[in-house]
Amino acid sequence: MIHKATFILVSMILTILLTAGCLSENTLTLTVTPATSHYLASSHPSSQSPTIPAYTIRAYVIKVIDGDTIDVSFPNGTIERIRFLGVDTPETSASRNKPNEYDHITDLKCLASWGIKAKFFTEDVLLNKVIYIEFDPKAGKRGYYGRLLAYIYLENGTDFTALLIKKGYARVYTEGDFLKEQEYMAYQKSAESKKLGLWGCEIGKYADTSTEPTLTHTATTGKVVIINVHYDAGGPQVRDTNKLNDEYVVLKNQGSVPVNLKGWRIMDEAGHTYHFPALVLRPGQEVVLHTGSGTDTSHDLYWESKRAIWNNDHDTVYLYDSQGRLVDKFSW
């Protein structure tokens, strides 16, 4: 009880210091617009919210460094760099990763690809958003490099630090001491057993995206088949949403008679569906279905989606004819 009371008192004092602008050591030298307007414009849970720990500090995310490191601005304008406590996402280049750091994974190229994905995920969820940070009395307030060490909570109370582990974007950083280690290890064991995210690198499942995916064909009279899927638009260093038309599916009529694709559809594992217009595919002809926007031609069709459709780690393209029969599928 004395230890808990002491930590509560320290946390309250720390909150007051941050609000008053007294935590100036090791602050970053960044020129930013004061974040006060962001706090006023955002809706926040009340201090009585049961979903966010009581002794947290509100901050605004101004920059994402990588999957587990961010820069934030506090209500008084103080800028700090925060290293997420208890987790470790892979480095974004193979040369900076180490064999066996993530259990038995030795495929460093695969790990780097998940380091990039972890950064994108953190940007999507946290950048330009209000968060709540919580310190841990066992870990201390700052790490070796002077960065704040903290758990990260979303406005709805979600432990984002734990979410990285649950989705396979991070491992538990067992080299450090923190109170949530056992809880986080349980999440990691679950993700690892399901080969989620980076844990697929253990069996090389996602190690080489240039490997030809497994094809399964079910031919119909017209023999229209999926001959290629380019699911990693722009390559591993580029966000798929920035090059949507480089994400595409290629169909080919391998039969001897023309096939009208009107009423046909393509679907992914999540149920996203594209309906084909009246397009006659002649024998030997190919047509490319791009995810993004454009003008349809006899050779190129456009889904007009604002987001990427095909998952880079695994997915399946299902092709159905106008009668709703499965014509072909392409999995990776």
pLDDT tens, position by position, 209-226? 333 344 444 444 458 999
Q: What is the pLDDT of residue 160?
A: 96
Q: What is the pLDDT of residue 215?
A: 42
Rounded CA-CA distance 32/205 in Å is: 42
Residues forming the active site: 83, 91, 147
Structure tokens belonging to residue 311 = 């998952």
Rounded CA-CA distance 52/199 in Å is: 29
Q: Which domains does the chain have, with CATH numbers?
A: 2-202 (2.40.50.90), 215-331 (2.60.40.1260)
DSSP 8-state assignment for residue 197: G
Measured at the alpha carbon of residue 146, what is the angle toward residues 140 and 150, in degrees to the nearest 5? Answer: 45
Strand 286-290 relative to strand 300-302, pairing: parallel
pLDDT band at 189 (very low <50, low <70, confident <90, very high): very high
H or E stretch at 9: helix 2-20
Taking CB atoms within 8 Å and a gap of at least 24, the contacts of 186-190 are 187/162, 190/166
Rounded CA-CA distance 211/234 in Å is: 16
Q: Say if CB 30 and CB 78 are below 8 A apart.
A: no
pLDDT band at 268 (very low <50, low <70, confident <90, very high): confident
Structure tokens belonging to residue 25 = 């050591």
Q: Say if CB 137 and CB 10 are below 8 A apart.
A: yes
Bridge partners, 302 (sequence order): 290
Q: Say if CB 273 and CB 265 are below 8 A apart.
A: yes
Please state, for a pLDDT cut of 90, what percent of the chain lies above it.
44
Structure tokens belonging to residue 326 = 């499965």
Q: What is the pLDDT of residue 14?
A: 54
Tell me the pLDDT of the chain averaged across its residues. 81
Distances (CA, A) of 65 to 26, 115, 120, 174: 17, 11, 10, 22
Q: What is the pLDDT of residue 47?
A: 41
pLDDT band at 280 (very low <50, low <70, confident <90, very high): very high
Is the full-model pTM beyond 0.85? no
Distances (CA, A) of 18 to 11, 15, 41, 161, 266: 11, 5, 21, 22, 53
